[in-house]
Homo-oligomer: A and B are copies of this chain.
Amino acid sequence: MSDGLNMSRRIRRTPYTDRVETAGVRGFSVVNHMLLPKAFKPTVEQDYWHLREHVQLWDVSCQRQVEIAGPDAAKLVQWMTPRDISKAAVGHCLYVPIVDETGGLINDPVLLKLANDRFWLSIADSDVLLYTKGLAIGAGLDVYICEPDVSPLAVQGPKAEDLLAGLFGEDIRQIGFFKYGIFNFQGTKQLIARSGYSRQGGFEIYLNDSALGPALWDCIWDAGQSYNITPGCPNLIERIEGGLFSYGNEMTRENNPLEIGLGKYCTLDGSVEFIGLKALQKIASEGVAREMRGIIFDGVPCPVCSTPWPVMVDNQQVGQITSAIWSPRLKQNVGLSMIERKYWDNGQAVTVFCADKSLRNGNVTTLPFI
C-alpha cells in the first residue's frame, strides 16, 4: 500500500479496509476523506453480472453520517431541504436534496429519522457536517452536530435478503424499501435499512462501533459463501444503466434539484420553509432550462468520462455527458447527460464528443435505460 493512495491519515481507512485488502481490492477512490473500494474483479463488467445475479458485500463507510440532535434538530433539518419531512416517522429513510440559497445542490443524502429530535444524514461526497455546523452557529440553534462512529456496510444483490434473514432473523424480510429496523449483532443493537446504491435490491447495515467492523464483515462473508458472495462496490455500469446519479458527477452546486429530476422531492407551495425556497419557486415558474436524460451512442466501448463530454446538435453544444460506459446488456454506450430543453425529447439525434477525440452518433432517451 505504501505506493498507493492510502499514504496518510488524511485519507481515512475504514473498519473494513483490512478485509477489503485481503479480499483483493484493485484500488480505491476517495469519498468524504475516506477510502471507497473501486473494483475487485479484473473487469467492472464481471462485477456487474455478479451483482445482478448473486450478492455482494460493499464497504461504503464513506457514506458518513452527520448526526443532528437536540431541541432545534427537526427545525434545522427541514430548513436544509425542500422535501417536507414533517410526515416522516421514526424508522423512515428519506432521500433529501440539500440546497443553498440559490437552489444549488450541496449534497443529496439519505435522511434517517432516529427520534423526533435526532437525525442522521447519510451523505454523498461533500462536508455536510461543516455546512450544518455553519448554519447552526450562524442562526444560534440549539442542536448537537457530530459525525458518529457509524460505518455503513452494504449487502447488495438479489440474494441479499435470504443471506441477512439467515443471520439476523426473518424480521429482515419485513423491512420496507427505505425503511429501517434495529437488529442484534453480538449483543449490540444495529440499524439495518433496505437501501443501497444499486437497483438490485439489498440492505445497508449502519454499524455503530468501528471495533466490530471485522467481525461483521467476517460473519456476513462466511454465511455468504453458500450464496456465492463476493466483495464489491458501487458498479459504474449498473449505476448508469439504472439512472442513479452521483453527487460531484451528475450534480454539483451549479445544478438545482428540478433539473436533476428531483422536483418530486421539492415542496414549493410555501407550506414548508427552507433555504432556497424563493430561488426554486422562480426556477419552477419559469420552467427548467435543461434536464437529465440518457444518451445511447454508438462505436467501440467508450473511455472513462473524467471531464464532461460535449453533446452537440448541428455543431452547437446542447448538453454534456457526465458519466458514461459501455453497457454489456444493451451492447451500446450509455451516458447520463444534462440536455437543454429544446433537445431533450426522446429520440433526438445528437453527436457526442468523446474523450478519445472520436465523434459518436447518439440519441436522447428516458432514464433509467431499459
Contact = CB atoms under 8 A, between A and B. Distances in A.
A6 B306 contact: yes
Interface in A100-156: 100-101, 106, 125-128, 130-141
A308 interface: yes
A304 B130 contact: no
A212 interface: no
A27 interface: yes
A53 B319 CA distance: 49
A248 interface: yes
Interface stretch (A8-16, A88-96, A160-168): A8-16
Interface of A: 1-11, 13, 26-30, 33, 38, 100-101, 106, 125-128, 130-141, 236, 246-249, 275, 303-308, 322-323
B131 A127 contact: yes
Contacts of A26: 3
Given A139-B138, A275-B137, A246 B130 contact: no
Nearest to A133: B100
Dominant secondary structure of chain A at its interface with chain B: loop
A139 B136 CA distance: 9
Contacts of A132: 134
Contact of A133 (B2, B38, B134, B303): B134
Give the top 9 A-B pairs by smallest Cβ distance, nearest first.
A138-B138, A134-B134, A10-B248, A127-B127, A138-B139, A130-B131, A134-B135, A30-B30, A135-B138
7 contacts: A9-B308, A10-B125, A130-B134, A134-B136, A136-B138, A137-B138, A138-B138
Contacts of A33: 125-126, 248
A11 B11 CA distance: 14
Most chain B CB within 10 A, of A11, A131, A249, is at A131
A135 B322 CA distance: 31
Contacts of A28: 5
Looking at A132, A133, A307, the one whose CB has the most chain B CB atoms below 10 A away is A133
A202 to B, nearest CB: 22
A165 B50 CA distance: 59
B134 A306 contact: no
A305 B248 contact: no
A306 B9 contact: yes
